Structure 1
Amino acid sequence: MHKTGTIYGINGPVIYLKGNTGFQMAEMVYVGKERLVGEVIRLTNDITTIQVFEETTGLRPGDPVEATGDAISVTLGPGILNNIFDGIERPLSEIAKSSGKYISRGVSVDSLDTEKKWQTHITVKPGEFVSGGTIIAEVQETQAIVHKSMVPPNISGTVLEVAMDGEYTINEPIVTVQLANGKEEKLTLAQKWPIRVPRPTAARFAASKPLITGQRILDTLFPIAKGGTAAIPGGFGTGKTMTQHQIAKWSNADIIIYIGCGERGNEMTQVLEEFSELVDPRSGKPLMDRTTLIANTSNMPVAAREASIYTGITLAEYYRDMGYDVAIMADSTSRWAEALRELSGRLEEMPAEEGFPAYLASRLSAFYERAGMMQTLNGSEGSVSIIGAVSPQGGDFSEPVTQNTKRFVRCFWGLDKSLAYARHFPAIHWLTSYSEYVNDLAPWYRDNADKNFVDERNQLMAILNQESNLMEIVKLIGSDVLPDDQKLTLEIARVIRLGFLQQNAFHKDDTCVPIRKQFLMMDLILYLNTKAKALVTMGMPMSILKESNIFDRIISVKYDVPNDRLDMFDDYRKEVDHFYDEVLEKNA
């Protein structure tokens, strides 16, 4: 028997029921005659408070509210990939069929297609003991990904009977398990899981492998580990969304989950259109074959925006449990925090800094803590990496969302307005950004790129820091009065900025750069620095060194050396040697 109550008061997306309704905390409910989806967020003996994930216009006191007995959950099964959902896992294409361009209220559609038959290969036999995470069936979900249906984490027992290999819908029973208490449980290709509860794992591993993105400033200077967390804060127009696009396109994650949380509708449309046209560089198939989009634009109800982040991370954990590496792009956590602030205001909670609720930090930490490289319940390895964009108002990094995010992420890619306006992309500033993963990943770089990789990365950072200090002097008295060795530092820093850190997303070789080429580019710049420094030490003025176009030649390496012709770096080293000999000869 479902419990019911009646509406007593309405305040935007928050509604109140009087009396003891018997509802449970975090229970999903249906509100009003249109059966809008809601969730219980506060309970007292006298009043039940519910947040509604849809527009509440037209509701009135006296309308019925019906409990479901379940928490807000998502359906996990084949059909998640190559799909676009709203904040509570309703597929937008299905909603469009029933309600047109604008989402009407109370739309009831299945999260996944319940009529489509999937070619299924059963992987367990009668008599086997199975427990949470055991793979019971495999389905070729898209051309790129094999979907592994698992036993739900809270079930274990002996397999009684299994279906034959063949075509099944996600709700048809394929395996029957006898539980320890003698009851029988029928398992299907799909399962449900509450979005606010992290899925269990066997163990958590330390960071040891990088998430390779093909972006030099990220992979070389500020790497993120698989299972790591990163924040991309930046003001309007600095390139947060574009940086996430590049990572989604080129990173070595198996699956991408893109959460558009409270973004502008036109920006989200651009994402949807671009992603559906992109070709996956790894397989040559459409990128959407391993991507899921969760679209929750700024004009959608705030409560659904708050839920969309949890929906996305639950889908990611599900694929992690199959043994895949998943990368989540959350764009942007600031809009999510604003949704929390609005709901908190409606609930008349005591505001903290800048009106955000006092629990902002704990909500952010609970979200980022769900990342990690894990040993799953079935013994495989999988990871969830979270890359969250932060949109501080006016680009002010001292505001609460940025500061609190900084406490919980180990990678901070600070976007800079002046770089973006100078068309230097990615506009990640090397002095405000940092990565705490560099030392953790050093063994991987040593084995897979070069034994000197981290040392040379540190040299590069030292030159950029020296440039920053020298620029303070240059602003006061000009660059002409600097000694030649400091002029050389400024020139090499310019080569690093233009030839290494700046990257062209529209150039076929520069849009994504393999890690070995990144090292060789860095090595070449430092080799030029060593040779030029030797000349300056001998008393050669910088004006003579600049007569050669060697510095500009090294800057253009990023375009001139194709990614599959790394042998060409030997020619450039010879060119640097030739420059060195030529300057010595001329000025002997």
Structure 2
Amino acid sequence: MGQREEQVSNAGVVAINGPVIKVRGALGLSMNEMVVVGEEKLLGEVVELVQDIATVQVYEDTTGLKPGTPVQGLRLPLFVELGPGIVGHIFDGTQRPLSVAYQDTGPFVARGRRSSALERDKVWSYVPTVGVGEEVSPGQVIGEVKETEFITHRVMVPPTIKGRVAEAVGPGLYTLEDRICLLEDGSGKEGEIRLYQRWPVRKIRPYKERVFPHEPLFTGQRVLDFFFPLAKGGTAAIPGGFGTGKTITQHQLSKWTDADIIVYIGCGERGNEMAGVLEDFPKLLDPRSGRPLIERTILIANTSDMPVAAREASIYTGITIAEYYRDMGYHVALMADSTSRWAEALREISGRLEEMPAEEGFPAYLASRLAEFYERAGAVITLGGKRGSISVIGAVSPPGGDFSEPVTQHTKRFVSTFWALDKELAGARYFPAINYLNSYSGYVNSVALWWKEQGGVDWVKMRDEALRILKEEARLQNIVKLIGEDALPDDQKATFHGARLIKEDFLQQSAYDPVDTYSPAGKQVLMLQIIMRFIEGMREAVSHRIPVYRIMELGVLEDIHRMKYTYKGDDPAPFQAIRERIERELAQLLQKEVHGELKGVGK
């Protein structure tokens, strides 16, 4: 890996408890230092120091270790390598490249097998943007590399150095180890810059200032974008029991969200789900670039059969990589699937450390760890003066779908958008199975101006009215279950059927339909305008004593049911035609009532 390894005198294993080991003679070790254990050089991290005894969590299987096994300190914290070659690849929780591991050892990663996260011998076409004699500051872009067809990798001055450019290479082909720039500061110290840099995963990368998010992270999923939006730089949670669609929702977000970079962390989930991502993403075309979606995706895989300690590290590895691309001025969306498995890893390690457990056995610092993770999201002005953002979307898997359990409750404190998945909706094959009564968004006012510019309508008013109808229908459902729909008066029947139109023809969306899988902002506005106009017309007809069942027999309803599958939204003409047909058929219905053709019906 290129680290400088030093033998810690007389440091040896004295106790082994799963992934946690005790090391005696550890006076030369420091907190959070990386170590290697035994001849196989199993990677670990110091998590506790008491006099000359260190507690180490090992990121690999400890089977076969025995007392007396020597331990070496590396004098470095757990870090990631940041440079060209990250996008489009899959790593484990400690940034081992799994594709390289597969070539070396097959489908199962061998213990102690270390390889550089980034290819050292690959050459990159580098174009400098600064010259000799220029003063550069931390975070400033000094050159560019074409990482993929879609992503330009901006080589930045590391946050820890600055100065005058003493040497600089010209345009050409270089490896990661080649020195591309040499800086001198006023005191005569020199700082070398290569195409890659290292950064500790548990340390936040610095930025100039945090800014208030105002643009939505558009996903093409109507229930999310229109009713419970997430801003670029915001935080969201997707809680739900087993089988409610957390993973498929995050896959759908990864495919269609308008972020520049997607970081997908499979933390403790089933291996077949990550296999599905690896199989699907190279085949899917990015709607913005027309290139394979994998060319703007970074995958961190730590599946349920991998070492539990590495699962705890995977979250930090992913968020640090996201911060690096944010610092280039990109908008990054990070999917963590799932934070519950990460919390369970914390619980297991905490138990082996013999720490005092808190609620449901989780460590007392669970809330602070969750807060530290979500705090690293945000829209910022970078050190280089660019605007970038990280939007964090964390799945939560409460046992039995119980939202009162600690991980869900603590997560609600630190996120501003809550997309609550519902077991009953999922059981009814309803996708996305998001419960509109339990979900909320704190970014409605932030993104209202953007929606007004897109649709030219009062988006907040239309959203609030639609939600009011849905909430009223939920209240009526309790009555219907007791005495049946026929017992409702016609004005309440109009609300009941109107809410059904909103749910089935707007909120419900097919991830597998080529047209309905993604809904542009303009189409979302047009669709809901049509539905709300029909509901308004239905109320008007009911006020003229026209029975609801006659309104629900209108032919235009067939067009309303089909519009999400038929029209992509790039042409407003078909939606305008549906709107005109609504006006025409409602007018004809009212005209019949005026002429007495419906007199006495439904009385």
TM-score (norm. length: structure 1): 0.98
Secondary structure of the structure 2 residue equivalent to 1:277: coil
Q: Give a deviation string over 1:115-166, Cα, whole Å, max 9, x none.
A: 0000000111111111110111100000110000111101011100101110
Of 167, 181, 187, 2:187 maps to: 181
CA distance in structure 2 between the partners assigned to 1:190 and 1:120 by the alignment: 12
1:352 aligns with 2:370: no
Aligned to 1:163: 169
Contact 1:26 1:39 in 2 (8 A): yes
Q: Give a deviation string over 1:435-457, Cα, whole Å, max 9, x none.
A: 11111111221223323111101
Of 232, 237, 249, 1:243 maps to: 249
CA distance in structure 2 between the partners assigned to 1:380 and 1:532 by the alignment: 51
Contact 1:137 1:189 in 2 (8 A): no
Contact 1:87 1:296 in 2 (8 A): yes
CA distance in structure 1 between the partners assigned to 2:519 and 2:509 by the alignment: 9
Secondary structure of the structure 2 residue equivalent to 1:495: helix
1:25 aligns with 2:65: no
Aligned to 1:583: 589
Note the C-alpha offset of 1:574: 1.0
After the TM superposition, which of the residue ranges 38-47 and 71-80 deviates more from structure 2? 38-47
Residue segments in structure 2 that go unaligned for 5+ positions in a row? 595-603
Aligned to 2:47: 41
Which amino acid in structure 1 is aligned with residue 178 of structure 2? E
Note the C-alpha offset of 1:2: 2.2
1:281 aligns with 2:287: yes
1:125 aligns with 2:142: no
Which amino acid in structure 2 is aligned with residue 445 of structure 1? W
Contact 2:380 2:388 in 1 (8 A): yes
Aligned to 1:554: 560
Aligned to 2:65: 59
Which amino acid in structure 1 is aligned with residue 79 of structure 2? S
Note the C-alpha offset of 1:20: 4.4
Aligned to 1:444: 450
Which amino acid in structure 1 is aligned with residue 248 of structure 2? M
Aligned to 1:522: 528
Matches within 5 A, 1:102-501: 102-501=108-507
CA distance in structure 2 between the partners assigned to 1:416 and 1:261 by the alignment: 22
CA distance in structure 2 between the partners assigned to 1:330 and 1:342 by the alignment: 19
Aligned to 2:107: 101
Contact 1:495 1:552 in 2 (8 A): no
Percent same amino acid among aligned pairs? 55
Secondary structure of the structure 1 residue equivalent to 2:390: strand
CA distance in structure 1 between the partners assigned to 2:26 and 2:518 by the alignment: 59
Q: Give a deviation string over 1:499-547, Cα, whole Å, max 9, x none.
A: 0000011222211111011011111111111111111111111122123
Aligned to 1:537: 543
Secondary structure of the structure 2 residue equivalent to 1:174: strand
Note the C-alpha offset of 1:22: 2.1
CA distance in structure 1 between the partners assigned to 2:392 and 2:278 by the alignment: 20
Note the C-alpha offset of 1:561: 2.3
1:2 aligns with 2:45: no
Secondary structure of the structure 2 residue equivalent to 1:292: strand
Contact 1:371 1:384 in 2 (8 A): yes
Contact 2:522 2:569 in 1 (8 A): no
Contact 1:234 1:390 in 2 (8 A): yes
CA distance in structure 2 between the partners assigned to 1:277 and 1:498 by the alignment: 30
Which amino acid in structure 2 is aligned with residue 514 of structure 1? P
Secondary structure of the structure 1 residue equivalent to 2:552: helix
CA distance in structure 2 between the partners assigned to 1:414 and 1:116 by the alignment: 45
CA distance in structure 2 between the partners assigned to 1:153 and 1:534 by the alignment: 64
Note the C-alpha offset of 1:328: 0.4
CA distance in structure 2 between the partners assigned to 1:494 and 1:551 by the alignment: 12
Secondary structure of the structure 1 residue equivalent to 2:585: helix
Secondary structure of the structure 1 residue equivalent to 2:179: coil
Size of the alignment, in residue pairs? Answer: 588
Contact 1:259 1:329 in 2 (8 A): yes
Contact 1:261 1:295 in 2 (8 A): yes
TM-score (norm. length: structure 2): 0.96
Residue segments in structure 1 that go unaligned for 5+ positions in a row? none
CA distance in structure 2 between the partners assigned to 1:353 and 1:389 by the alignment: 20
CA distance in structure 1 between the partners assigned to 2:456 and 2:21 by the alignment: 60
Note the C-alpha offset of 1:469: 0.6
Note the C-alpha offset of 1:552: 3.9
Which amino acid in structure 2 is aligned with residue 253 of structure 1? A
Q: Give a deviation string over 1:177-215, Cα, whole Å, max 9, x none.
A: 012321212110100000000100000011201000000
Q: Give a deviation string over 1:532-569, Cα, whole Å, max 9, x none.
A: 11111111111221232333431222123232222211
Note the C-alpha offset of 1:433: 0.7
CA-atom RMSD in angstroms:
1.1
Aligned to 2:600: none
Which amino acid in structure 1 is aligned with residue 110 of structure 2? S
